[in-house]
Amino acid sequence: MADQGTGRLCCCPAHVRDDLGTIATAKALGAGEQGPVMAESRFKRLLRQGHDDIAELLDPMIQAVHLLGNAAPVADLAVSLLDWTPRRRLRWAQAYWAQPATAEAPHAPTL
């Protein structure tokens, strides 16, 4: 029997109708023509989601896909759902606020 977390993982990418390829999801969320696609307060709530249970992360990630008009990078979404660690959240924060990633990023930003 398949792991429930893995089965749930399919829920979010299933909402994507147009794969954006290699762009970071967080960069797409922070880079709208009229400002960020996802409000900063909502993005901060997303970053605060725990990594112990994929189910906690699914709704905010699905909302992110919908905010992007169902166009998102499928591979980045899948990897992020499986590896929602403080380091991954720091990368998302850097991409959303367009800061260059550093080689060593041991701690997530304080939100």
Residue listed under structure tokens 């409000």 = 39
Strand 18-19 to 71-72 pairing: parallel
Nearest to 47 by CA among 4, 102, 104, 95: 95
Q: 56 is written with which tokens?
A: 């906690």
Which of the residue ranges 13-22, 75-84, 97-106 has the most confident prediction, judged by mean pLDDT? 75-84
Contact between 65 and 12 (Cβ < 8 Å): yes
Residue-wise pLDDT tens digits, 40-65: 999 999 999 877 767 788 888 889 99
Q: What is the pTM of this model?
A: 0.77
Residue-wise pLDDT tens digits, 1-30: 445 555 666 677 778 888 888 889 999 999
